[in-house]
């Protein structure tokens, strides 16, 4: 999927390549979803066609209704039964997001399926929340309800009636606007929720609780006497604290797809989680990698000058993943600048591979060093195609999902950031890797490979010991970063960029707090690698479910 068209491709533990919305759910709810939680038209039609080919329909005519709609409903029930929160058994409530806009031809089978589903499971087991925009005319400042009225009317015509309206707007809805929406959309006024612009997105759960949106949902599902009040005290402190941060930390993100920032959504969120944990105000300078290259200096000198000014003004540099030739040389120049000027650097996936190539070209004296992805005929292939990959089929053939990385240098910064554990599980998405045949030459010249896979032949983490912070990871640590549980490598980058790396390393090894479940259902705080003492102000969990 093109990041410029779809935004980033989010990767799940089981290797599912899914829409970035699933990443939002994982981050906000701190859960682990599966590929089954991502229902697409293609997957549904493929499933139905495979059943028809097997003869499951006994030669009957296969139609959108009932075969496609039945398959969608079965998929929803199947996905709802998969535990995603670390507890045994299915969840009490399953959230279904139907994307797109009412009236889109692509979503018609799904709307029909949900209409049938609501009738099948009964009114007390189905709550429909309709998200709609209430625009404000800047000239007069009037909040217009017509778009919502029309979308609700179209929705009813398709067999679905919303129980709750979630209205997006720049400002809180006025009472008369709420009353009008209630009257024309046949929704109780207390079920009209306003989602207006906030200083940061972490205020949204607090905004929903303030308007008692959870009570509206519980009323519809008849769960008033079962569910507990949302415990958002720590979340509230985090959201309010974020607004008050004023000490800046400036990170330059050198990428290929900077024209659409959703292309790097998880990168952005992981940087935010880490900066909040370190009490810093995050400032990201998005730099198009191509603007750093020599060719742009002649074609567009202003863009070239601006890009280098941003890079040289950054406290830290991050080079994310990507595919293809465009912008590669610019990323290599960014890695070289960070290495030679001792600027904190974090390279992810391709960003790690290009750091290796830059090191080979500059330090090892191999000017033609390259990746076989970029130059199949290079005489010094530092990065090669993985043996198990497919060169004919691109979709779903990469090394995907959660894989284990073993630390081979216990005193390295990367190992310390992960709490000096023996291994870590992180998510991957790549089809090229560092050439293991060249590893001895790199290590003899000072570049260390501190993390490797279980075979010891696949390089996972690189590090320059004599650099303040120069780390590359073949995996994508951003996918597992959470509010209040920042990714260790991102914590390291922000810590190094703000001159606090030693404190980060010390806290990672001594002051990490993890919740340990007790027999009475409550939790106690356990200080990893240390005895109980006064809790730190921010609780990190780098153990990812492993208690020590």
The 10s digit of each residue's pLDDT in 290-333 is 999 999 999 999 999 999 999 999 999 999 998 888 999 999 99
What residues pair up with 485 in beta bridges, in sequence order?
Answer: 482
State the pLDDT confidence band at 394, using cuts at 50, 70 and 90.
Answer: low
CA dihedral angle for residue 238, residue 501, residue 263, residue 36, rounded to 10 degrees: -70
Question: Does residue 94 carry a catalytic annotation?
Answer: no
Percent of the chain beyond pLDDT 90? 77
Instruction: Give pLDDT, residue 514.
Output: 42
pLDDT in tens, 223-249: 988 888 888 999 999 999 999 999 999
User: What are the CA-CA distances from residue 189 to residues 27, 171, 184, 277, 283 (Å)?
Assistant: 31, 18, 11, 39, 40
What stretches of 460-532 show up as alpha helix (H) in DSSP? 488-497, 501-510
Percent of the chain beyond pLDDT 70? 91
Which residue in the list 478, 500, 509, 511 is annotated as catalytic? 478
Which residue in the list 329, 476, 500, 511 is annotated as catalytic? 476
- Sign for the CA dihedral angle at 379, 383, 388, 390 comes to negative
Average pLDDT over residues 453-458: 92
Beta carbons of 92 and 100 less than 8 angstroms apart: no
pTM for the whole thing?
0.88
pLDDT at 547 over 50: no
State the pLDDT confidence band at 274, using cuts at 50, 70 and 90.
Answer: very high
Question: Does residue 214 carry a catalytic annotation?
Answer: no
Alpha-carbon span 325 to 327, nearest angstrom: 6
Question: Does residue 349 carry a catalytic annotation?
Answer: yes
Q: Which residues contact 309 (CB under 8 A, 6 or more apart)?
A: none
Residues in the chain: 548
CA-based nearest residue to 388, from 400, 402, 377, 370: 400
User: What are the CA-CA distances from residue 113 to residues 61, 75, 215, 267, 285 (Å)?
Assistant: 18, 11, 27, 35, 44
pLDDT in tens, 500-523: 999 999 888 764 444 444 444 444
pLDDT at 111 over 70: yes
Both tokens assigned to 245:
């941060």
pLDDT at 262 over 50: yes
State the pLDDT confidence band at 526, using cuts at 50, 70 and 90.
Answer: very low
Instruction: Give pLDDT, residue 510.
Output: 61
Both tokens assigned to 493:
């980058």
Which residue in the list 127, 167, 185, 349 is annotated as catalytic? 349
* Strands, sheet with 164-169, edge to edge from the N-terminal-most edge strand: 129-133, 164-169, 192-196
State the pLDDT confidence band at 529, using cuts at 50, 70 and 90.
Answer: very low
Alpha-carbon span 110 to 182, nearest angstrom: 26
pLDDT at 528 over 50: no
Q: Which residues contact 280 (CB under 8 A, 6 or more apart)?
A: 245, 247, 248, 249, 494, 498
């Amino acid at each position: 999927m093109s990041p410029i068209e779809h935004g980033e491709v989010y990767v799940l533990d089981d290797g599912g390549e899914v829409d970035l919305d699933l990443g939002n759910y994982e981050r906000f709810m701190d859960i682990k979803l599966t590929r089954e939680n991502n229902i697409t038209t293609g997957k549904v039609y493929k499933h139905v066609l495979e059943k028809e080919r097997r003869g499951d329909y006994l030669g009957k005519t296969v139609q959108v209704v009932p075969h496609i709609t039945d398959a969608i409903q079965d998929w929803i029930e199947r996905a709802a039964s998969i535990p995603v929160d670390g507890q045994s058994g299915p969840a009490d409530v399953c959230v279904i997001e139907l994307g797109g806009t009412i009236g889109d031809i692509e979503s018609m089978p799904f709307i029909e399926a949900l209409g049938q589903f609501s009738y099948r499971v009964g009114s007390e087991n189905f709550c429909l929340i309709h998200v709609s925009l209430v625009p404000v005319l800047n000239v007069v400042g009037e909040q217009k309800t017509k778009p919502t009225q029309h979308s609700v009317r179209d929705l009813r015509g398709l067999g679905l009636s919303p129980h709750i309206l979630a209205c997006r707007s720049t400002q809180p809805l006025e009472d008369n606007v709420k009353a009008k929406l209630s009257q024309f959309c046949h929704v109780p006024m207390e079920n009209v929720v306003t989602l207006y612009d906030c200083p940061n997105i972490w205020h949204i759960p607090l905004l929903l609780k303030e308007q008692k949106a959870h009570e509206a949902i519980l009323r519809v599902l008849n769960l008033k006497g079962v569910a507990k009040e949302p415990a958002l005290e720590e979340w509230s402190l985090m959201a309010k604290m974020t607004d008050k941060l004023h000490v800046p930390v400036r990170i330059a993100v050198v990428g290929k797809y900077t024209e659409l920032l959703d292309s790097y959504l998880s990168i952005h969120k992981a940087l935010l989680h880490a900066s909040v944990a370190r009490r810093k105000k995050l400032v990201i300078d998005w730099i198009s990698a191509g603007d750093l290259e020599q060719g742009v200096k002649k074609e567009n000198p202003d863009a070239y000058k601006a890009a280098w000014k941003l890079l040289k003004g950054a406290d830290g540099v991050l080079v994310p993943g990507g595919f293809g030739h465009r912008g590669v040389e610019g990323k290599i120049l960014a890695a070289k600048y960070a290495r030679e000027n001792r600027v904190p650097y974090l390279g992810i996936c391709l960003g790690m591979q290009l750091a290796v190539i830059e090191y080979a070209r500059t330090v090892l004296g191999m000017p033609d060093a390259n990746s076989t992805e970029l130059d199949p005929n290079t005489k010094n292939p530092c990065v090669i195609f993985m043996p198990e990959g497919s060169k004919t089929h691109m979709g779903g053939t990469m090394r995907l999902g959660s894989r284990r990385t073993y630390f081979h240098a216990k005193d390295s910064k990367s190992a310390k950031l992960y709490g000096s554990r023996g291994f870590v599980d992180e998510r991957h998405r790549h089809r090229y890797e560092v050439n293991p045949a060249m590893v001895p030459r790199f290590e003899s010249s000072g570049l260390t490979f501190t993390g490797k896979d279980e075979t010891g032949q696949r390089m996972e983490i690189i590090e320059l010991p004599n650099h303040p912070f120069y780390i590359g990871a073949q995996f994508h640590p951003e996918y597992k970063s959470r509010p209040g549980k920042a990714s260790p490598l991102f914590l390291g980058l922000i810590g190094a960029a703000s001159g606090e790396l030693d404190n980060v390393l010390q806290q990672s090894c001594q002051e990490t707090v993890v919740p340990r479940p007790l027999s009475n259902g409550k939790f106690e705080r356990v200080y990893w690698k240390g005895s109980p003492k006064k809790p730190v102000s921010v609780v990190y969990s780098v153990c990812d479910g492993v208690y020590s």
